């Protein structure tokens, strides 16, 4: 069965420091990986997906099939990056999303 693991529930970094939010997945098929973000008092929304290979708000994520990882990275964190981040795996014929438990990122001034 598919599974998504985000080992860090809480992560704090200082403004300007690099940040990496870890995500590992378990799936035997061809994975689709996403990062969703929820800012305070806002709805959950898509941040980026691996297929796009793009940088959104300075964030990038590379799918590493060998390590079954999809870590989210940003070289210089900003205070407005503080939010809850969820890694998600799309799988199966239905492309059902399986979410990780989330990482609360706090960027300190």
Partner 1 sequence: ETGVTQTPRHLVMGMTNKKSLKCEQHLGHNAMYWYKQSAKKPLELMFVYSLEERVENNSVPSRFSPECPNSSHLFLHLHTLQPEDSALYLCASSREYGVRNTEAFFGQGTRLTVV
Closest to partner 1 by CB, 19 vs 89, is 89
Closest to partner 1 by CB, 36 vs 70, is 36
Q: How far apart are CA 61 and CA 56, in angstroms?
A: 10
Beta carbon of residue 49, minimum distance to partner 1 (angstroms, whole number): 6
Strand order of the sheet with strand 60-61?
19-21, 72-74, 60-61
Closest CA to 78 of 93, 62, 104, 58: 58
Dihedral sign for Cα atoms in the order 72, 78, 81, 85: positive
Beta carbon of residue 99, minimum distance to partner 1 (angstroms, whole number): 4
Residues lying near partner 1 in the complex (CB under 8 A): 4, 32, 34, 36, 42-46, 49, 51, 86, 90, 93-102
Closest CA to 85 of 94, 93, 95, 73: 73
Beta carbon of residue 11, minimum distance to partner 1 (angstroms, whole number): 17
Closest to partner 1 by CB, 19 vs 36, is 36
Beta carbon of residue 86, minimum distance to partner 1 (angstroms, whole number): 7
């Amino acid at each position: 069965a598919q599974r998504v693991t985000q080992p860090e529930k809480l992560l704090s970094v200082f403004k300007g420091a690099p940040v990496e939010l870890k995500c590992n997945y378990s799936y035997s098929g061809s994975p689709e990986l996403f990062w969703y973000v929820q800012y305070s008092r806002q709805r959950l929304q898509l941040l980026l997906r691996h297929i796009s290979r793009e940088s959104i708000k300075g964030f990038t994520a590379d799918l590493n099939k060998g390590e079954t990882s999809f870590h989210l990275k940003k070289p210089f964190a900003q205070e407005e990056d503080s939010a809850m981040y969820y890694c998600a795996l799309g799988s199966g014929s239905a492309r059902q999303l399986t979410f990780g438990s989330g990482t609360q990122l706090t960027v300190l001034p």
